[in-house]
Chains A and B, each alone.
Chain A
């Protein structure tokens, strides 16, 4: 039961985190008017996930990994691109920021930017949404078919999703309270780790799709921190933690993380002196 809870927490968390950041960001830059579109994106993603999940469940029962994994991989790759773009957009905004007057931020979100953020929310949910819907449906069916299990498993799954949503909401709430500069810095660093995790997830999905060769695990951290443990599941959901990453996944993870994080931190440092001079 704990396993089911943790799987759903993990699957839901990544989406909740990304959507939470997008919403927090739009509130922060004073574009609450665009939130309506984000919500439309969220609802559309849920409808697509549930609708397609139900359709697949009632017809072929389970989605072949040759369909599921490319969707997951491509969605992860798309999310990496938009998150990276968002990161550098935020840095530009941060640079344009004189002092800490939030009112001075030019929230000139282009139509294209809004569309990108809305599709990011959509993709973040659809990515795991279909698999999640199928998993939950299978749990309900097996609970109903074999009386011994009872409703415990599906309820544990729903509870996992609920906790993930709650955490996403907490992120929005926390983000709104931060001042703008701190919001950019903190969210930026979180985004970098999330995106690095998504790079590794995308590689994993492409391997499962048969598009990339399987590699032997470069590390085995199962003994230290299994993915199925609560902390492992949380880290997997937030930052793409894998107990047995392949060499390719590690290269992808750090190949993204190190340069982007360096650029981000160095960029932040370089701006500091100018800001203190004006202060």
Chain B
């Protein structure tokens, strides 16, 4: 069937184009990776945003209980586990206010929140013993 062959050829072309585009961007970005956030292009100047390093383990959120001063904070999430837990969420009164998904081991993913004082819930779905935790934001 010629149409299927044409379809397949188009699929292959598309795939090659995507791969090439992704490669080009990733390579040009990787060289500048350390300065990526500080090159002025980011919406929030990095210097003024507190970085909070947290991790995911197979047990869940690590640390399970976290304390952070109020204000903007960028959560840098890494995965120290085997990959059975891939998501890190911060909830307030049963609503998600910030989260990252697909945090595979070896990949840092970040999200930024402007935190007001109070108590929040951490959630790392799929974790064995610390799938949920507490975030306390102090004045």
Contacts and interface: CB of A to CB of B under 8 A. Distances in A.
B29 A58 contact: yes
Contact of B96 (A141, A146, A207): A207
B22 A62 contact: no
A136 B110 CA distance: 15
A121 B1 CA distance: 23
- Count class of interface residues, chain A: 35 or more
Interface in B84-103: 84, 86, 89, 91, 94-102
Contacts of B100: 62, 65
A258 to B, nearest CB: 26
A83 interface: no
A138 B99 contact: no
A92 to B, nearest CB: 26
B41 A210 contact: no
A46 B14 contact: yes
Contacts of A228: 83-84, 86, 126
A162 B18 CA distance: 11
Interface string A139-150: 111111110010
Interface in A192-242: 207-210, 213-215, 217, 222, 226-228
Contact of A142 (B4, B25, B42, B106): B106
A169 B104 contact: no
B50 interface: no
Contacts, number: 143
A210 B96 contact: yes
A60 B10 contact: no
A54 B107 contact: no
| Most chain B CB inside 10 Å of its own CB: which residue of A39, A57, A222 | A222
Interface in A121-145: 131, 133, 135-145
A56 B23 CA distance: 16
A210 B29 contact: no
A169 B11 contact: yes
A244 B123 CA distance: 13
Contacts of B41: 58-60
Interface of B: 1, 3-4, 7-8, 10-11, 14-15, 18-19, 21-23, 25-27, 29-31, 33-34, 36-37, 41-43, 83-84, 86, 89, 91, 94-102, 104-112, 123, 125-126
5 contacts: A3-B86, A62-B111, A138-B108, A140-B22, A141-B29
Top 5 closest A-B pairs, CB basis?
Answer: A140-B26, A144-B30, A3-B83, A213-B94, A210-B95
